[in-house]
Amino acid sequence: MGVNVNFDIATVVSDIKMAVSGILGKDVSTWRGFAEEQVTALAKQAKLIATGYASGELTDDDTDFFLDGLEAMAENFAQTLRGLVLITIEKVWNAAVGVLHDAIRTALGPIGKAIPGL
Q: Looking at residue 118, what is its pLDDT?
A: 73
Model pTM above 0.85: no
pLDDT, greater one: 15 or 1? 15
For the chain, the domains span 9-106
Q: Looking at residue 113, what is its pLDDT?
A: 77
DSSP label at 117?
T
Residue 111 has pLDDT above 90, yes or no: no
Nearest CA-CA partner of 70 in 103, 41, 108, 102: 41
Q: Looking at residue 2, what is its pLDDT?
A: 61
User: How confident is the model over 49-106, as pLDDT tens digits?
Assistant: 999 999 999 999 999 999 999 999 999 999 999 999 999 999 999 999 999 999 998 8
User: How confident is the model over 4-46, as pLDDT tens digits?
Assistant: 788 889 999 999 999 999 999 888 888 888 899 999 999 999 9
Q: Looking at residue 58, what is its pLDDT?
A: 96
Contact between 103 and 12 (Cβ < 8 Å):
yes
Residue 1 has pLDDT above 60, yes or no: no
CA–CA dist 63, 60 (Å, integer): 5
- Per the document, the length of the chain is 118
